[in-house]
Amino acid sequence: MVELPRAPSFRLDGRALITGGSRGLGLACAAALGQQGAHVVVAARGGDALEAAVSALRQDGHSAEGLRLDVTDRSAVEAAVGAQQPFDILINNAGTNRPGPFVEASAEDFDAVFDLNVRAAFHVAQCVVRGLLAAGRPGSIIHMSSQMGHVGAVNRSIYCASKHAIEGLTKAMAVELAPAGIRVNSICPTFVETPLTTGYFEDAAFKSAVLSKIKLGRLGTVEDVMGAAVYLASDASALVTGTSLRVDGGWTAE
């Protein structure tokens, strides 16, 4: 009799930290991980959105708590993450964009994007990894990158630069942390329909240009990214590290 192999489990029993988790992709990832059993800690600057997100997760049967945190505040991150039990999973999702012509970009625009997209992501990951190393535990670090971490685009010079930086960080962390059993990967979505992007698509010409690049012919949804998050967080991706999972509808295929 042939003994068939068993597929790895997508079950998540550990603790997960999701930054920028009160809405959009962050909240979707929190829900996805919660649905697989993880205890999700949703980090955001606070306000009604954070309370509403945690309430919705709990009402859906998930184990969840909120963490009021400005991830650009280095000392606050160190205090908040250091006070927690180690996180088995991190989804570094907090991010921003200031699109505009390259020649018109200001120093303030550059600093705002890099402070959140790169500097804060680096430091949050550093604090989470320190906790894992101190506890002698493996883990999964997931950076929310973008297809723009692999290509260039008009009016997105700062954003593209920040996401290319995240791709380099992902690879370097993966190589360095592999001996400790800590995997590091990125998710690279295409344009996803969220409350934050709705305004962009009111411009018919812009929407048409975007759809012309997405080979599957549609914008992304948060549900498209949820499966990628669960996969990279779970044992189903046990041999995957230093990888960029492009959820881009084929944008970067040519």
For the annotated catalytic residues, the residue numbers are 159, 163
The tokens of 169 are what? 């960080």
Distance from chain centroid for Cα 29: 8
Alpha carbons within 13 A on the beta-carbon side of 216: 12
The tokens of 249 are what? 């509808």
Question: Which of 155, 153, 176 lies closest to 164, judged by CA?
Answer: 153
Question: Which of 214, 161, 148, 218 lies closest to 187, judged by CA?
Answer: 148
The tokens of 50 are what? 């954070």
Alpha helices in the chain (DSSP H): 24-35, 48-59, 74-82, 107-114, 121-135, 157-177, 204-213, 222-233
Alpha carbons within 13 A on the beta-carbon side of 165: 16
Pairing type for strands 64-68 and 89-92 reads: unpaired
How far is 160 from 226, CA to CA, in rounded Å? 23
Report CA Rg, the chain.
18
In sequence order, the 6+-apart residues with CB closer than 8 A to the CB of 45 are 68, 69, 70
